[in-house]
Structure 1
């Protein structure tokens, strides 16, 4: 059984030099190695910009059909970003978790997938 610890915030550095910080409420036995952090951040920035453009379209009273088309593009961009994150997570974190016997990571992945595909 894993010992519970207070949330710890720590920083990781990807092979491309990108740093990211996150926390865990519980210790677990696998490492986090994300290969696509920079690409994910770029995708999220672009999606955020497109969403802001949709907001302006609504404020400006643009045609509803045009707004819906642009909104569907934002949703698709976010879904595709989620796929990149999921693939990266499976390829790196889940492989490490399986190798270290961390079954909780698999349970957490299944919960995340259930929420992502709703």
Structure 2
């Protein structure tokens, strides 16, 4: 299936202000670990979006179910690749920075975030 590059709400959501945390507050001095690869992640998410649209078209065109499942598997692997890359960046940047600052509570919180993210990835 040919990947298409399209800008969508999903890609726009992925590129929102990188200083906004999950709680909606700004972390003034902190840059997220993925920032250096932001363009690569956005490009990958656009390709993933193209894959998802291609799968929807296959269903609409009533393609063979096994061929659709093959594409779903490829899409799943692509998303897992993005997730593991982001997790790696979180560990190497966010967790490491918290530990270097000597703030045990912050470091433990970052490690817990990583553990929770791993649990969510395993369940999905």
Provide TM-score, normalisation by structure 2.
0.71
Structure with the larger helix share: 2
RMSD: 2.2
Q: Distance in 1 between matches of 2:16 and 2:63?
A: 38
Q: State the Cα deviation string for residues 73-103 of structure 1 (Å, max 9, x = none).
A: 1001000111111111111111112122212
Q: 1:112 aligns with which of 107, 114, 117?
A: 117
Q: How many residues align?
A: 100
1:21 partnered with 2:17: yes
Unaligned 5+ segments in structure 1 are: 1-18
Name the TM-score, length of structure 1 as normaliser.
0.74
Q: Which runs of 4+ in 1 moved over 4 A?
A: 26-30
User: Which residues of structure 2 form unaligned runs of 5+?
Assistant: 1-14
Aligned-partner Cα distance in 2 for 1:28–1:95: 16
CA displacement 1:33-91 (0-9 Å, x = unmatched): 33221111111110110010000000110000100001111001000111111111111
Aligned position for 2:31:
32
Map of 2:52 onto structure 1: 51
Do the aligned residues in 2 keep the contact of 1:47 with 1:74 (CA within 8 Å)?
yes
CA distance in 2, matches of 1:52, 1:41: 16
How much does 1:31 deviate? Answer: 2.1
The DSSP-based 3-state class of the residue aligned with 2:17 is: strand
Provide the C-alpha distance between the structure 2 equivalents of 1:107 and 1:29, rounded to a whole number of angstroms: 22
Partner of residue 9, structure 1: none
